[in-house]
Chain A
Amino acid sequence: EIVLTQSPGTLSLSPGERATLSCRASQSVRSSYLAWHQQKPGQAPRLLIYGASSRATDIPARFSGSGSGTDFTLTISRLEPEDFAVYYCQQYGSSPWTFGQGTKVEIK
Chain B
Amino acid sequence: EVQLVESGGGLVQPGRSLRLSCVASRFTFDDYAMHWVRQAPGKGLEWVSGISWNSATIDYADSVKGRFTISRDNAKNSLFLQMNSLRTEDTAFYYCARDKNIAAAGLFDYWGQGTLVTVSS
A residues within 8 Å of B by Cβ?
Answer: 33, 35, 37, 43-47, 50, 56-57, 88, 90, 92, 95-102
Do A92 and B45 form a contact, CB below 8 Å, given A44-B95, A44-B111, A45-B111?
no
- Tell me, yes or no, whether B85 is within 8 Å of chain A by CB: no
Nearest CB to that of B99 among chain A residues? A92
Measured CB to CB, the closest approach of chain B to A52, in angstroms, equals 12
Do A92 and B107 form a contact, CB below 8 Å, given A44-B95, A99-B47?
yes
Contacts of B46 in A (CB 8 A): 99
Check B45 against A45 for contact (C-beta < 8 Å): yes
Q: Is the interface of A mostly helix, strand, loop or mixed?
A: loop
Contact with A along B92-114 (1 / 0, CB 8 A): 00010000100001111111111
Measured CB to CB, the closest approach of chain B to A29, in angstroms, equals 11
Contacts of A56 in B (CB 8 A): 109
Contacts of B105 in A (CB 8 A): 92
List 14 other contacts, CB 8 Å, given A47-B108, A99-B44: A33-B106, A35-B108, A37-B45, A43-B113, A44-B114, A45-B111, A47-B111, A90-B45, A90-B108, A96-B47, A99-B46, A101-B44, A102-B44, A102-B45
